[in-house]
């Protein structure tokens, strides 16, 4: 699995970050896993075609004790296996990493 990681986050900062993700409605139903929606304009051609049958398309963010791990795999919430599931494009990867780092900055979390 390819992923982007950030570590050395304090317990207090992680609590703030996790609460923010919950407030945004990004919980997956599993402890420590959040689903980040992929912007519609950044879906691949096949993901756009499968938007109704397989979507929504998301990227997983794992929150651990003092670290974050953004999976670079675009998943389809509506299906476990499909050709529309695949690694993020360079553009999408950069966008999602930027989104994560901006959120940390907005929350004044110094891990970035």
Domain assignment present for residue 42? The answer is: yes
List the one residue out of 77, 6, 89 whose CA is nearest residue 44.
Answer: 89
Give the pLDDT score at 36: 98
Assigned domain for 31 exists: yes
Range of the domain at 29: 3-106
pLDDT mean over 57-76: 97
Q: Is 112 exposed, middle or buried (0-12, 13-18, 19+ CB in 10 A)?
A: exposed
Q: What pLDDT, in 10s, does the model give residues 92-104?
A: 999 999 999 999 9
Total domain count, the chain: 1
Residue 83, domain member (yes or no): yes
pTM over the 0.75 mark: yes
Tell me which residue has tokens 């974050």. Answer: 68
Residue 111 maps to a domain: no
């Amino acid at each position: 699995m390819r992923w982007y990681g950030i570590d050395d986050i304090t317990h207090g900062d992680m609590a703030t970050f996790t609460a923010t993700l919950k407030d945004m409605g990004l919980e997956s139903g599993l402890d420590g896993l959040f689903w980040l929606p992929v912007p519609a304009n950044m879906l691949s051609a096949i993901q756009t075609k499968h938007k109704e049958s397989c979507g929504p398309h998301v990227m997983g963010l794992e929150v651990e004790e003092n670290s974050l791990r953004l999976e670079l795999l675009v998943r389809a919430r509506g299906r476990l296996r499909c050709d529309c599931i695949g690694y993020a494009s360079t553009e999408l990867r950069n966008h999602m990493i930027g989104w994560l780092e901006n959120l940390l900055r907005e929350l004044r979390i110094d891990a970035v």
